[in-house]
Amino acid sequence: MTEKVRIDKWLWSVRLFKTRSLSAEACEKGKVRIADQTIKASRTVKVGDIIVLHRGPWLQSVKVINVVERRIGAALVKDFMEDITNEAELEKFRLYQLAQASFNFKGGEGRPTKKERRDLDDYITDW
């Protein structure tokens, strides 16, 4: 374990993002915050930091328990971060999942048409 790790690398290492480039992109777009400040991908992570991720209509909060530089197995994630997302945000996530699952596309399979996608986006952002 190391003492200094870039935030984009840490987010990827603890499996919050599928790729490191996606985590860096989220940082650059302002979707990652520490202490109510948007941060760059190059910022270093410290033990005790609380990171807030904007994930669509809900916010996920995690606390850094330990820093890690390499990607770890899913079973080990609990040793490096703690999910401290409040119940109100978790309820938004559950509603988002329900809206995604209940929206019926033509034929019930495949990708939505452009119009169906717009309708779904309007429906989700209305709450």
- 4 plus 47 within the same structural domain: yes
The DSSP H or E segment spanning 125 is helix 114-125
Verdict on whether the full-model pTM lies above 0.95: no
Task: Determine the pLDDT at residue 52.
Answer: 95
Q: Which residue has the higher pLDDT, 80 or 3?
A: 80
| Whether 78 and 93 share a structural domain | no
Q: Are residues 112 and 72 in the same domain?
A: no
Give the domain range for residue 102.
86-127
Between CA 24 and CA 6 the distance in angstroms is 10
- Distance, in Å, from the CA atom of 127 to the CA atom of 124, rounded to the nearest integer, reads 6
Distance CA 72, CA 93 (A): 25
Per DSSP, the residues of 17-31 read: SSSHHHHHHHHHTT-
Question: Which pLDDT tens digit goes with each residue over 36-86?
Answer: 899 999 999 999 999 999 988 889 999 999 999 999 999 999 999 999 999
Assign residue 38 the CATH number of its domain: 3.10.290.10
